[in-house]
Structure 1
Amino acid sequence: MKLYSNEIVFKGHPDKVCDQISDALLDAYLKDDKQSRCGIEVVGGKGIIFVTGEVTSKAKVDVEKIVKRVLRDIGYNDNYEIINNLGVQSKDIALGTNDIIGGAGDNGMMFGFATRETNKYLPKAMVILQELSMFYDELHKKDKRFLPDGKAEITGYYDEKDYLIKIKDFTICYQNTEEEREKTDKILMDEAIKIANKYNVLIENFLINPTGKFQIGGFEGDAGLTGRKIVVDSYQSFARVGGGAFSGKDPTKVDRSGAYIARKIAKEILDKNKDINTCEVQISYAIGIDKPLSINIKTDKGYIKTPTNLYDRCKVKNIIKELDLLNICYEQKAMFGHFID
């Protein structure tokens, strides 16, 4: 047995708030102009939210209105100064990413992962934390003792297949009014036990707000930044991640579309090979080139030779079409992790 840890941040965590704002803005641009090119970054601080990056689009978007709507939806007040610093996409980049060329929006490598540990082809500990995060989002909306910010972490015992056997420590940090803490702590512990039991996992110990108090949260507690939770967004450290974040980027940006198709390919490998328990797919691109430079398929049984047709399948325009990436809600993906099924 070995110990290993993973974590999630709740929807109201400052970095996650910035991710959701970036993707809500992306959704708005794509809604009215499917050819929008977006790379939207958000910084949240004390009384100010700074929106920057590059957008080339025919859509007319009310940035301030969308930012404030996201804040209210999450559970925060919208009393913030909104600074709109968005510019247009570099013409140099556009030379290789326009609809005629169809090249990748940047250099980089992306990873996709799948494991047979759950029927979702996701690690058990990751699924447990995702379900707790979704529960917390609903809980704080109806019980005002709970406030939006928070995070959770599992330290577990794992077997030789990297499957979770038991949870050693379940850490939950949640913003709250500090009223009736014994009762509010118990609500979260009971739910964590309920979720873990569903996956036949026992919990040895809980650590709830280990500093003793968590009343100040959101941007009043910490600054937030788009893309700072790329490990949480992908596989919570159970697989490697590329260097690029997802949120705020239209699907010509392979940081996003490449990672999404890599996940699908990894799941397909498990479907077709019943003896394989885990699969990690790496895809790499060069800016302005439509086909990947490389596709690497690694499993717990060794490497698999990459079928040549995968290179055509993983052209940027083909990924966008196959996954319908111009017609999905990116804001929703930014809430609890981009891979939840």
Structure 2
Amino acid sequence: MKLYSNEIVFRGHPDKVCDQISDALLDAFLSGDSSSRCGIEVMGGKGRIFITGEVTSATKVDVESVVMRVLKEVGYINGDNAENLTPSGTLADFEIVNNLGVQSQDIALGTNDEVGGAGDQGMMFGFACDDNTEYKPTAMVIMQEFSKFYDELRQKDSRFLADGKTQLTGEYDDDMRLIKIKDWTISYQNTETDRAETDQILIDKAREIAGKYGVEVEKFLVNPTGKFLIGGFMGDAGLTGRKIVVDSYQSFAPVGGGAFSGKDPSKVDRSAAYKAREIAVDYLKRYNLHSCE
């Protein structure tokens, strides 16, 4: 028997907000010019958002409006509860520093030819397993389903705020099949209103999701520090690419050194990682494997 832990962060986690801003800006540039070259990095904290990196594109993007749209979508600007996420919940409270520059001409030499070469070297991995129809470890699928549920819940119930993360420690057999969940930790930002009720809502949903996959949960730890009211960029700093393990295969397979977010397809950190995953799934199905790496 083995014990493995894996985690996922919610959309309002500071690092994941930076990822989403990077990707939203990338999408905006690519939608106007599909040949755009982008490597966009974001750092946020204490009411300030710093955007840097390289962009070469024929299209113009209103960076500030894209950033504000993402902040609204993830719940950082959220009506009566916004004081817990920003200094006072108004758009003006965010100072946005746009430090984007153009792609290095030296890098462009390798990407702008007819072949369309890679903008860098890197380590990329692909993984798949036959645990379920998504070809991902069951614990990963459980975490992803729970995170999606939480994002939908906080949009309907104002007691649940944007920031948070969840982690489980599972017991596995020698073939890395999940037997049961020993501990499930849920850390979620909330208004501290009806805490017993909001905790129970999350516990009940967690048991339901795990039960779909025939997995029992032994113990829950919900906001184990006792309180989680201050969150988002007021609670912690965020940085693009700091959750690459969460975004990839968590504790179940090797993860490359480069982040995905904010990078166009010429950046192999992203495109080659996606291709490696496609190859792993293809080999898994073609040769009837338990797992492929």
Quickly name the TM-score band, shorter chain normalised: over 0.9
Shift in Å at residue 237 of structure 1?
Answer: 1.8
| 1:95 match | 109
| 2:290 match | 277
Corresponding position: 1:117 with 2:131 = yes
Give the SS at the match of 1:55: strand
Corresponding position: 1:145 with 2:153 = no
Partner letter of residue 269 of structure 1? Y
Corresponding position: 1:127 with 2:130 = no
| 2:250 match | 236
Corresponding position: 1:262 with 2:276 = yes
CA distance in 2, matches of 1:207, 1:98: 52
Shift in Å at residue 135 of structure 1?
Answer: 0.2
Give the SS at the match of 1:112: coil
| 1:160 match | 174
| 1:306 match | none
Match of 2:195 among 181, 188, 200: 181
Give the SS at the match of 2:229: coil
| 1:204 match | 218
| 1:299 match | none
Corresponding position: 1:67 with 2:67 = yes
Corresponding position: 1:82 with 2:96 = yes
CA distance in 2, matches of 1:101, 1:183: 58
CA distance in 1, matches of 2:264, 2:201: 39
**Greater Cα offset, 235-244 or 186-195:** 235-244
Kept in 1, the 8 Å contact 2:18–2:240? The answer is yes
Shift in Å at residue 118 of structure 1?
Answer: 1.2
| 1:105 match | 119
| 2:46 match | 46
CA distance in 1, matches of 2:152, 2:115: 44
Map Cα deviations across residues 271-330 of structure 1 (whole Å, 9 max, x no partner).
1111x21111xxxxxxxxxxxxxxxxxxxxxxxxxxxxxxxxxxxxxxxxxxxxxxxxxx
Map Cα deviations across residues 186-227 of structure 1 (whole Å, 9 max, x no partner).
000000000000000000000001100000000000000000
CA distance in 2, matches of 1:237, 1:228: 15
Shift in Å at residue 99 of structure 1?
Answer: 3.9
Kept in 1, the 8 Å contact 2:111–2:118? The answer is yes
Taking structure 1 as the reference length, the TM-score comes to: 0.81
CA distance in 1, matches of 2:200, 2:246: 25
CA distance in 1, matches of 2:245, 2:101: 28
Matches within 5 A, 1:15-34: 15-34=15-34
Aligned residues: 279
Shift in Å at residue 236 of structure 1?
Answer: 1.4
| 1:252 match | 266
**Greater Cα offset, 72-81 or 166-175:** 72-81
Give the SS at the match of 2:280: helix
CA distance in 2, matches of 1:249, 1:208: 35
Partner letter of residue 24 of structure 1? A
| 2:56 match | 56
Q: Unpaired segments of 5 or more residues in structure 1?
A: 281-341
Kept in 1, the 8 Å contact 2:169–2:183? The answer is yes
Q: Unpaired segments of 5 or more residues in structure 2?
A: 78-90
Taking structure 2 as the reference length, the TM-score comes to: 0.94
Partner letter of residue 37 of structure 1? R
Shift in Å at residue 103 of structure 1?
Answer: 1.2
| 1:223 match | 237
Map Cα deviations across residues 222-247 of structure 1 (whole Å, 9 max, x no partner).
00000000000111121101100000
Partner letter of residue 56 of structure 2? T
Match of 1:172 among 183, 186, 204: 186
CA distance in 2, matches of 1:160, 1:119: 21
CA distance in 2, matches of 1:235, 1:183: 33
Shift in Å at residue 101 of structure 1?
Answer: 3.9
Give the SS at the match of 1:111: coil
Partner letter of residue 59 of structure 1? T
CA distance in 1, matches of 2:138, 2:12: 23
Give the SS at the match of 1:83: strand
Partner letter of residue 218 of structure 1? G
| 1:286 match | none
Kept in 1, the 8 Å contact 2:4–2:251? The answer is no
